[in-house]
Amino acid sequence: MLKAGVGLGAMAGLSMLPKPVFAAGETIKVGILHSLSGTMAISETTLKDVMLMLIEQQNAKGGVLGKKLEAVVVDPASNWPLFAEKARQLISADKCAAVFGCWTSVSRKSVLPVFEELNGLLFYPVQYEGEESSKNVIYTGAAPNQQAIPAVDYLADNGVVRWVLAGTDYVYPRTTNKILETYLHDKGVSADDIMINYTPFGHSDWQSIVADIKKFGSAGKKTAVVSTINGDANVPFYKELANQGIKATDIPVVAFSVGEEELAGIDTAPLVGHLAAWNYFMSIDTPINAAFIKDWHTFIKSDKRVTNDPMEAHFIGFNMWIEAVTKAGTTDTDPVLDALIGVSVPNLTGGYSTLMPNHHITKPVFIGEIQADGQFDVVWQTPGLVAGDEWSDYLPGSKDLISDWRKPLSCGNFNVKTGKCGGAA
């Protein structure tokens, strides 16, 4: 278990706070846009629950601007076009001041035009492929330089020279793997030492694919799997690894979408030693994390429920929004966006995360080994916080782009060579 820095003090229990008085009939609506059914429910349902907890806690503190927060929960059901429909409902019909939601990049891409058209505000809490910076999105999950690149560097430093890039077939794995493939080639890795495989959402028959991975790793070179497999397909994937006797000492797997919640449904004993790269683990030992876990268990009425990285991202994003609304004196999108840049709030790992002008936040990076109890033992971490890089330095079409949403630039894809906004391909 990691002892990460000096704690920030436990959050006050709800029972210790006086009951606030709110103006009758006045609420500020907060949208929760997470799949509660379908293939992504295994990951997203918990994010709905933690948002309800955070809203309840804020109301116990007095709400915001003297008004009570009201959660508006919808279920886009792991259906990407339905995400856009539900986003429009939350902004136009329900008049939500902000929306916290999405997991997959395809769901985020689906709702993005809606938020930009209606000038809504989305807090997106999950690691993603980068190559995007929208005025209307706050990216509280990791960019590739805050997860994928450090994970590959860690494995390479530990002798890995052959790479399996295994992902679910959609934009996040494909773009992330494009970045990683270019990065590995730049590091001198040959094409023969990179195997790339994609499977659909919910894929369940892993026997032949795992056999191919096992064969690829039998060439006498240390091999690792870099996994961008998402959702409930992870359960049969890890089970098949165990069935075919692939241990972490043979071919380690580092995952970017498997955390404590996903491991809760798997017999983890055969998976001990496999890895995940995140910006938070439940096992991190700080007073603020201990208080968060205690509050979570009380709210969810179970001390067996775990916490995970995207939950912390919502914790950070929600508190940033509260601070910005308070500072702006309104929930209107544009003043809140102006107030958000530069806001720093406590994270759960012992420090503060700051929203940068590119709408990404600063985060530490951790690599953890799966333990038999489904928790992670942190084996490596960055010495400090890493600022999210929205445009990859390793892709030709991106390396000249920057994002800065402060006036007067107010541009998500400014080309530093041409001096023009709109340089994205």
2 vs 24: CA distance, rounded Å: 46
pTM metric for this prediction: 0.90
Per-residue pLDDT of the chain (425 residues; tens, 9 = 90+): 444 443 334 444 444 445 665 655 689 999 999 999 998 998 899 999 999 999 999 999 999 999 999 999 999 999 999 999 999 999 999 999 999 999 999 999 999 999 999 999 999 999 999 999 999 999 999 999 999 999 999 999 999 999 999 999 999 999 999 999 999 999 999 999 999 999 999 999 999 999 999 999 999 999 999 999 988 888 889 889 989 999 999 999 999 988 898 888 778 887 899 999 999 999 999 999 999 999 999 999 999 999 999 999 999 999 999 999 999 999 999 999 999 999 999 999 999 999 999 999 999 999 999 999 999 999 999 999 999 999 999 998 899 999 999 999 999 999 999 999 985 44
Domain spans in the chain, listed from the N-terminal domain onward? 14-143+286-364, 145-278, 395-425
How many other C-beta atoms can be found within 10 angstroms of the C-beta atom of residue 200?
Answer: 11
- Comparing CA positions, the residue from 262, 276, 321, 313 lying closest to residue 292 is 313
Q: Extract the tokens encoding 146.
A: 């805050």
Q: Extract the tokens encoding 331.
A: 């929930």
DSSP for 263-316, written as a single string: HTTS--GGGTT-EEEES--TT---HHHHHHHHHHHHHHT-TT----HHHHHHHH
Look at phi and psi of residue 215 and say left if phi exceeds 0, alpha if psi is from -120 to 50, else beta. Answer: alpha
What CATH class is the domain 14-143+286-364? alpha beta
How many other C-beta atoms can be found within 10 angstroms of the C-beta atom of residue 357?
Answer: 15
Q: Extract the tokens encoding 31.
A: 């949208």
How many other C-beta atoms can be found within 10 angstroms of the C-beta atom of residue 213?
Answer: 23
CATH classification number, 145-278, choose in 3.40.720.10, 3.10.450.50, 3.30.1180.20, 3.40.50.2300:
3.40.50.2300
Decide if 86 contacts 73 (C-beta within 8 A). Answer: no
In this structure, what DSSP letter does residue 64 have? B
Fold equal for 14-143+286-364 and 145-278: yes
